[in-house]
Each structure stands twice: as structure tokens, then as C-alpha cells.
Amino acid sequence: MKVFWNGKGQSLIEILLALFLVSVFLVTAYYVLNANQILSLQSSFFERALNLANNEIEKLRDLSKTNFSNITNATSTYENFLIERNVTDLDPYSKKVEIKVSWEKPKPKSVSLISYLVDWKNIPIDDGSGGAGGGGGGGLSGDWRFPTTLSSIDLGPGNAGTDINVKFSTVFITSVASDEKKPDLFLIDVTNPQNPFIKSSLNTGKGANSISVKQNYAYLAHNSNSQQLQIVNISNESSPYLVSSTTLPNNNAIPLSIFAFTLPSGQGNYLAITTQRSSGNEVFIYDVSNPNSPILLSSLNFDADINDVFVLKDRLYLSSNKIYIYDVSNPSSPFLLSNLTLPGNDIGYSLFPLSYNLLLVGGSRKLYFLDTSNLNNLNIISTYDVGGKINDIYARENLAFLATSNPNTEFQIVDYSNINSPYLYSSYNFPQDATGIDYRNNLVFVSVRSNDALRIITSR
């Protein structure tokens, strides 16, 4: 049987096929355009929601400066967005705040930001020093996007700054001098920070690598493999003098860090001192209630350099090839609460705990933000690449001030308003490495590894 197609039938099939293809194209175009519109709307809503969350965080940060107790859970709406505020009290002076902004159309979505707020205004600052990391006093003001040097102090040729601590209107700065006969502890009057002057100095021997000031004493990590612990009486700041020198037992290593502390009960005066890797122990805790005769209470062995130590209330933080957290409520018997190996076996060089729940760690290049609320599972929230070793940290409100070895930006400020996405807020170049950092009354005090060893930095 033969089938014949005439011209009319063939034209009809072509028309139907064309109509089919056109309909497929139109349907596809509709869905593509509709999907693009949805994506465009979602992107627009996401950006708007993120701005609302950021604005809410900024409002709370302002509120924390005036009425910290009023930062509580809340729910509100704005336009088509639901704004939920979830507040967790970490301790009497710090809160964790999560802002969740959600919307329903075209599809249910949400964004969340987390921030940690601290009631800096009301934190007890003891004698104005707070150990190795806390000048205290006053909140941030001005524009820290443009840090500027307010003044500096030259300690003389061959005298490199190693660490710094502020007590009221006096800066205590340590150094390692090219000549052991030169002074290496300096007390600098910053009553007028634009015109600081050296009020007194002291030669302790081989210099000091770290200092912690508390009440009437300065505790030094002496740059020597003997008499590593030195205690200086500073009750008369015009005439400081050495009251005792102690050699750490079974340890012939150079000390790296020191921190003086009292326990939450207010009983006793203690210090922790750490050293380079030793054949013996590397961490020592002393009772210094009698500064003339420190009493060793306990020691710990790590077979590694312990680069930094910080004590917050009854917790001892150590940075090394791991990050360690100890309970020292009984300084004679510290016990390990938790530890963490940093990614890529990075080394921890500096520490700053904002609370029991948030710890800042400075590594060989990166600044780590650690969630320490669950001691069974320490968690790295986020990191920021500083581009050099972080020698010291001081955090205030939403800004982390860093003393680094980055050859182009030794002083850096990192904004962690969004704890999940910290970023470089501003920076400053020094002639040499920044070695130590402290803060008081909107001024940042930095020790620098050069004879121009003290830099006082302020905002514009």
C-alpha cells in the first residue's frame, strides 16, 4: 500500500509543529522569567532582611552602653518582615544576641546574625589594670576607621618594647635592651596622653618578655633561664624597686607570659607564668599574697612552648600547639576542662576571653573566634586572616585590636559585629612588630619592637 501526502496535509502538520514549539518556548520562557523574578525578589528580600538585622544589632550595641539590662528577648514586625531577638545571658556583664529576620513570600526564608555584647561600663576593673589584658575604663567613641597616633615615647637606642599594661594614668612597658646595664621597665605618665613622659624606670637584668600589673605590684616574666619570675613594688611609681626574684623549679627555659589574678571570691593573690618548652613543666601557679616570698602551688607539663596565659574568673586559658582551658578555682589543683587543636596544626600565640562563652585566639596568621559555651565541644565560629603572627589582642565592644607581625599593618582593628563574618575595619603601619596591646578610655596603647616603643593610638 502506498501513502501519498498532498501539499495541504503537509502544511497543516508544519503549522501544528510550529505551534507546539512556540507553546513550549512560551511556557519555558514563562517559568524562566518567573524563576528569575522569584530569585530577584528573594535576593532583594535577603538584602533588606540583612540590613534590618544589622540595624537591630547596632541599636542594641548603643543600648548596651546606656541600659544593658534592657537587652532582652523581643519580637517585632517591619513591613513584611518578622524580627525576632533571642538574648542569652552569659554572665552579669555579657550577652549573646541572635537576630532572626524572616519573610513568607515568595517563599519562606530567613537570615540570622549573632553578636556578643559586653557591659564594659560596669565591669569591675579592680585597680585599673586587670592583669595582663585589661586597662578598662570607658567605651569606644569617634571613628576607629581612621586610627591615628596621638603620641609616642622613645625608650632609647637598642631598647625594644615587649609588652604593655595600663593602670589608671600610668603605662607600664617592658623591653629587652641591647645592654643589660640599661633600664628595661618603664613607668610612663599618660595623664595628658598627647604629652606622655617617663616618670621612672628600672633595670631588672636581662629585660622582660611579659608584664602583669595588679594593685601595688608589677609581675615580670624575666628574659632569663633563671630567676624567671620577678616582682616589682610600684606603690611609689616614682621609685619602683625589685622585691623578689624566683627561679622556676626544674625549668631552665625562657618565660613567655605572665598573668596576675584573684579568684571570684576575692580571696588570695595569685599569678600564672609560662615558659618555652622545658625538660620539666612549662606552667607554674604561685600564691603571691606575700610578694617577698612567692609560694608555688602547682605546675603543669605540656612539652611545648606556652605562648600566652589569661585568667578569667576561675578559668585559666593557655595558648600553644593547642588551646587549653583549666579550672583554677583551687589553684593548688588545676584540672583540664577542654582543649582544641587549631586547623592545620596552627599555633596559638595570644588569647582574649570575652566571657566563658567566647574566646579570641591569635594564631600564626589567623584570628579565631571560638564558641566555648560547650566545653565538651569547642567550636570555631569564624576566622580572619591577619597576614602575620598575632602577638596580642584586646577586644572592646565590637572591635578587636591586634598587635601583629604583619610587616605592612602591625596594628589592625577587626570588626566582629557579625561574629560569623569578621572583617578588617582599619589598620596602621609601624616601623617594627607590635608586641603588646592594652586599652583605656578610648585610647589603645601598643608596645613596639623598636626604641620608639610606645604608641598611643586614638580614633579620629
DSSP H helix total and E strand total for the chain: 1, 32
Q: What is the pLDDT of residue 180?
A: 87
Q: How confident is the model at residue 21 (pLDDT cuts 50, 70, 90)?
A: low
Kindly report the pTM of this predicted structure: 0.84
> In this predicted structure, which of 19-28, 32-41, 319-328, 416-425 has the lowest mean pLDDT?
32-41
CB contact at 8 A, 129 and 165? yes
Closest residue by Cα to residue 394 from 449, 322, 442: 442
DSSP 8-state class, residue 404: E
pLDDT tens per residue across span 35-63: 555 556 567 888 888 888 888 988 888 88
pLDDT tens across 138-189, in order?
678 899 999 999 999 999 888 899 999 999 999 999 999 888 889 999 999 9
Domain spans in the chain, listed from the N-terminal domain onward: 9-121, 124-458
Cα separation, 87 vs 95, in Å, equals: 7
- Confidence bin at 297 (pLDDT 50/70/90): very high
Count how many Cα atoms sit within 13 Å of the Cα of residue 148 in the half-sphere of its side chain: 8
Q: How far apart are CA 14 and CA 12, in angstroms?
A: 5
The superfamily in CATH containing domain 124-458 is YVTN repeat-like/Quinoprotein amine dehydrogenase (2.130.10.10)
Give the separation between CA 371 and CA 375, rounded to whole angstroms: 9
For 334, counting Cβ atoms within 10 Å of its Cβ (0-12 exposed, 13-18 middle, 19+ buried), the class is buried
Query: What is the structure's pLDDT at 263?
Result: 93
> What pLDDT is attached to residue 4?
47
What's the mean per-residue pLDDT of the chain? 88
Instruction: Give the three-class secondary structure for 68.
Output: helix
**Residues paired with 325 in a beta bridge:** 317, 338
At 131 the pLDDT is 41
Q: Give the C-alpha separation, 298 to 335, whole Å.
A: 11
Confidence tier at 132 by pLDDT (50, 70, 90):
very low
401 — alpha (psi -120 to 50), left (phi > 0) or beta?
beta
- Residue 323 reports pLDDT greater than 70: yes
For the chain, what percent of residues have pLDDT higher than 90? 67
Q: Is the pLDDT of residue 34 over 70?
A: no
**For 209-221, what is each residue's pLDDT tens digit?**
999 999 999 999 9
Do you find a cis peptide bond into 106, omega within 30 degrees of 0?
yes
pLDDT one-digit tens code per residue, 270-279: 999 999 999 9
Q: What is the percent of the chain with per-residue pLDDT over 70, rounded to a whole number?
A: 87
